[in-house]
Structures are given as C-alpha cells and as structure tokens.
Amino acid sequence: MEKESTVLERAQLWLSGSFDDATKEAVKKLIETNPAELTDSFYRDLEFGTGGLRGIMGVGTNRMNKYTVGMATQGLANYLIMMFPSLNPIKMAISYDSRNNSKYFAGIVAEVFSANGFKVFLFDDLRPTPELSFAIRELGCQSGVMVTASHNPKEYNGYKAYWDDGAQMIAPHDENVIKEVQKITSIDDVKWSGKKENIISIGAEIDRKYLSRVKALSLSPEAISRQKMLKIVYTPLHGCGRKLVPDILSDFGFENIHMVKEQAIADGNFPTVHSPNPEEHDALDMAIKLAEDLHADLVMATDPDADRVGIAVRNHKNTMILLNGNQTAALLFYYILNRWKELGKLRGNEFIVSTIVTTKLLSAIARSFGVEYFECLTGFKFIADVIRQNESKKNYIVGGEESYGYLIGNFVRDKDAVSACALIAEAAAWMADKGNSLFDLLVEIYQKYGFYKEGLISVIRKGKSGAEEIQQMMMNYRKTPPAIINNSRVIIIKDYLLLKETEVATGHEKPIKLPKSNVLQFILEDGSIISVRPSGTEPKIKFYFGVLEKLSDLSEFEKTEQRLDEKIAGIIASMKLK
C-alpha cells in the first residue's frame, strides 16, 4: 500500500506542476484506468545511465518525454559548463534517427542547450550515429547527443551522450553527469526558452567530409573496379542508414545495389519487422527474399541509427545464410589485416580491439599478423577509450564486438555501420576477384585458426519486478557458482565486478585490470566460455557461449558445426535457460 501511495503522490505532482495540459490529461487517465501502467510510469525516475537515456515513451518520471529529456539535458549542460568554464560558447552537436519523436526530442535538446548559451550544431535531417561522432570531432565540439534507442522496439526512444573526442562518455564523466542530472529535481530547474540564434543547421557539408574519410579506408579499389557489378542487397530497416550507406557503396565503385524498397522508408513504427535489430534473423527476411529473387551475392542490414550491421552470404549450397556478429567480425578483421600486410602497411605498432564477450578468434587472427590485441569491457565506449589511450603511440586499425558493431579507422569513435558496410562489400569483391565468396573466406579462417562458434540467449524480464529478478540471478551466480556445466568442470571464474579471476581447483586469485562491470565468466575444462551480463540499456540478462573445435577439411564443415551447435545447446540445457 505504501508503494502505491508513493506512486500516486509522484503522479499527482504532474497534475499540479508546470506541465502542459495534454500531459496532465494523460496522467489523469492513467490514474483512473490503468494502475499497472501508472506504477511502471512513476515508480522511479528514468535513469540517466552511463550511456545516456533510454526508455519507453509516454508520460511519467520513468518514461521518455519532453520533461524527462529536458531535465536530463539540463543536468548534462550544467556539467559541461563546470568542465569548460573558460569556453564561451561551449559547442554541441545533435543528431537523431527515424524513431517516433526523435526529431521532436532532438529539438528539445537543442532548445535547452541553446538556452544555456551553447552553440548548437543540429543536423537538418536524420543522420547515423557514426556521423554524429564524426561531427563532434570535425566541428571541435565539447559534447554531442544522438537521439536514438538503437535497435530497441518501437515503443522506445533515448539518447546517447558523447564527449569531445566523439566517444560515448566513460568514467569519470559518465558518473559525474549522472550526479548532475540527479540534482535536477523539477522541470522548473530547466532552461526551456531556446535561443534560435545559437542553433546552426548542418548537413550536406558534413556528409561530404565524412564520406570522404570513409572512402579513404578502401584497400582494394582495383578489385572493386573489376567486380563492380557484384550484386548487393541492402536494407536500412526503416532507419537512417538510407541516408549514407547507398552513397558510400556507390563512392566505393559498386554499381549493382538493390534496396529493399518497403524498408527504405524512414518509419519509427518499423512496420515490416517485429524488431529493427539486425541481430534478429526475422529482420532480414525481406532482404534475403529479394536476394534469392535476384541471385544476389551479399545482403546487408543496418539498425535504425546505422551503427550496427548484419549480413547474409551464399554458402556452398548456393543458399543465403545469416552470419552472426562474431563471424562478420572475423571476416572483416581478417580481410583488413590481410590487405594491410599485402600493401606493406603493417609496421609493427598496429593494434586491434575487441570485448570480453566477443569471439577469441579475433585474438588468434591478430597474433598471426603480429598485431597487438586489446580486450576491453562490453560497449564501444571502452573500445574508443583504448583507441584514445594509444593514439599517440600505436596505430589503430579496426575494432568490433559480437553485437554487430565495428569501427574501421579512428576518425569516428563509435561503431560505424556505414564504413563497415563499405569494407564488407569490398571484402566480398576482393574474394569474387579470386573466384571465391565470403563464405569461402570464413571457411578458410576456420581451417587456419579453429572453428569458433558462439551463441547468445537473452532472458527478458520487464518492469520493476523484472529488474529485481535479474539482480537476484547475478547474486545467485556469485553466491553459488556452477561447478559443472554440460558435463565439463568449471575451472576458472572471472568476476568483472569484483575484478578477480579465480582458479576453482586451488582458489588462487589474480586481479583483472579493467574497470568494474557486472559480468561473470565461467571457463570450462573443455575450453568452452560462458559469459553472463545484464544489459545496461534493456530489461534483459544476456548469456554468451563460445565453443571451439578443429576444422581439418571443408568436407567436415557441417558435421563440425553440428557438434558445436549441440555443445551450445547442451550448455543452455545444463544451465536451465530454456
């Protein structure tokens, strides 16, 4: 009863405060007709996390709306004013994707920053996340905001906050911004009255500069010129990839690009897909159907803010198959390092970066080319941090993570599906020039380094009770970790929250030299790796599985893959996740 009273009191504040009439009417309706939704809308404040805001749109303190966006933005503005006291004006870049209300929220963010005396560069239309990152660096901004909820369902929106290097914020800035946002306790604390003279529209010129930098990443222009009619199907999944991906493919020299017309329309309702997430197989159904109709060689799909890309390639049975993020990373990394070596660009001080839950195949590839491999926590902001720490000493080549995000070159500091699409297509042309396919290249990689296979299960638990259940699951794994998984002993436990690695048999511990993160890893005697990580942006807990076997011959590919799939299924069953 006490909890319900608190929720009602919080809701009633929105009836008596300086909120607009439409908001008050919506709150009244929730109070009168939908107590469950009222509770979820008001039981807490929408968290401004280490990556920014993300939540379901609607009225309430726990929803994405004009007021929660404005309050978060004022807190961010206050922190930037503290950090750059001698700058006048402080400069800010803002972009947005195709989601419902993205343009509206971007306008609010621009108004609040301009009201605080900032010089605001606002894109004239939707643009991809990587271009926002590029614009921050290009325009000398101190921060930036990308209004997006990435690949979340249509009910969601949010925004990512960036620092002056074009990367999402990390400690101490992320935590300090959160503290400043928490100090904004009323909408009356927000400077709402924007100054139009402080808001500058940007667009085509930044497009040209960004695409020029991406074009300079090309490693095999001659192969493309010979394979320019390579048949490519691309879908932006109703997002802002439509704005630049076809342009960069054309700039690279490809002349046979086919867009999925129904999905080339920017639409925040994402009417042709259940979820606009290239990690989901269903999201690529229409593109694969078109590819089969056209006998295309390659399918690529980007998410709404065009920072992730999923692909499909033709296998040896001439059937389009979807690759997971680890497989695409392996293809991309191997192609790029191979070409750097062939072109004499490897000088001994190069490095690549990936995350603790991404395939260990990338590490093996790096070693074979004499390239240093860095491993960091999950999230591209940590990859960007490794780049920043090493940029004056070493030469960054490529980074990526299993969740379909990749970055080639250092002029952007977030995952970039625009450049990734261009280099994936180039890799396909390079292989076609040899009379082979990307699938052939994948098999070649497996034969050389081992057949690495990964799996992922996301357990979704919505609402307040769901968040509590996820927290309890992590506590249970720490208190009573499994001793045996799928008939194989757990020999090492890595706890990234306690920053310690424990050898189970001896109890010997050694430190993990990374920032703290709520992640657990179980390494089994048979070489399998299981990682457990609650999502920081969605109501889910993720379980990552990595298994490995040798692949001696192409004829053994299907049998080996089946055994690996069975091993992953055995782990899932053993952990009672299905």
- Where residue 101 falls (left for φ over 0; alpha for ψ -120 to 50; beta otherwise) is left
What is the pLDDT, as a whole number, of residue 540?
87
Arithmetic mean of pLDDT, 185-211: 97
Residue that terminates a domain, selected from 161, 179, 208? 208
H or E stretch covering 479: helix 463-479
Q: Which residues contact 78 (CB under 8 A, 6 or more apart)?
A: 180, 183, 184
Number of neighbouring beta carbons within 10 Å of residue 570: 17
CA 359 to chain centre: 16
Work out the percent of the chain whose per-residue pLDDT is above 70. 98
Is residue 214 included in any domain, yes or no? Answer: no
Residue that terminates a domain, selected from 208, 238, 266? 208
Q: Are 133 and 166 in contact (CB under 8 A)?
A: yes
Residue 5: pLDDT band by 50, 70, 90 thresholds?
A: low
What is the pLDDT, as a whole number, of residue 211?
98
Kindly give the pairing relationship between strand 298-302 and strand 257-259: unpaired
Same domain, 81 and 111: yes
Is residue 267 included in any domain, yes or no? Answer: yes
Same domain, 317 and 433: yes
- Residue whose C-alpha is closest to residue 399's, from 345, 342, 355, 454: 355
Q: Which residues contact 458 (CB under 8 A, 6 or more apart)?
A: 535, 540, 541, 542, 543
225 is catalytic: no
Q: Are 496 and 512 in contact (CB under 8 A)?
A: yes
What is the pLDDT, as a whole number, of residue 548?
96
Residue 60: pLDDT band by 50, 70, 90 thresholds?
A: very high
The CATH number of the domain where 534 resides is what?
Answer: 3.30.310
Is residue 221 included in any domain, yes or no? Answer: no
Is residue 287 included in any domain, yes or no? Answer: yes
Domain that holds residue 35: 1-40
Same domain, 312 and 379: yes
Helices assigned H by DSSP within 101-183? 102-115, 129-138, 173-182
pLDDT for residue 2 is more than 70: no
In 342-416, where do the E strands start and end?
A: 350-355, 372-376, 395-401, 405-408
End-to-end Cα distance, the chain: 35
Kindly give the pairing relationship between strand 520-524 and strand 509-511: unpaired
Same domain, 485 and 362: no
Residue 333: pLDDT band by 50, 70, 90 thresholds?
A: very high
Same domain, 366 and 510: no
Per-residue model confidence as pLDDT tens digits over 350-394: 999 999 999 999 999 999 999 999 999 999 999 999 999 999 999
pLDDT for residue 555 is more than 60: yes
What is the average pLDDT value for the chain, to the nearest integer? 95
Query: Where is average pLDDT lowest: 43-52, 368-377, 447-456, 514-523?
Result: 43-52
Domain count, the chain: 4
Q: Show the CA angle centred on residue 371, arms to residues 370 and 374, nearest 5°.
A: 135
Phi, psi of 466 (to 5 degrees): -65, -40
pLDDT for residue 173 is more than 70: yes
Catalytic residue among 41, 114, 143, 150: 150
Residue that terminates a domain, selected from 399, 428, 449? 449
Same domain, 90 and 145: yes
Query: Where is average pLDDT lowest: 300-304, 418-422, 538-542?
Result: 538-542
Arithmetic mean of pLDDT, 221-244: 97
Work out the percent of the chain whose per-residue pLDDT is above 90. 91
Arithmetic mean of pLDDT, 510-520: 95
Place of tokens 């208190």: 479
Arithmetic mean of pLDDT, 344-350: 97
- Residue whose C-alpha is closest to residue 287's, from 331, 251, 320, 315: 320
What is the pLDDT, as a whole number, of residue 537?
59
Is residue 163 included in any domain, yes or no? Answer: yes
Q: Show the CA angle centred on residue 282, arms to residues 278 and 283, nearest 5°.
A: 40
pLDDT for residue 469 is more than 90: no
Same domain, 243 and 269: yes
pTM given for the model: 0.94
What is the pLDDT, as a whole number, of residue 47?
87
Phi, psi of 290 (to 5 degrees): -65, -40
Same domain, 401 and 503: no
What is the pLDDT, as a whole number, of residue 1?
35
Q: Six-digit token pair at 145?
A: 């905001």
Residue 218: pLDDT band by 50, 70, 90 thresholds?
A: very high
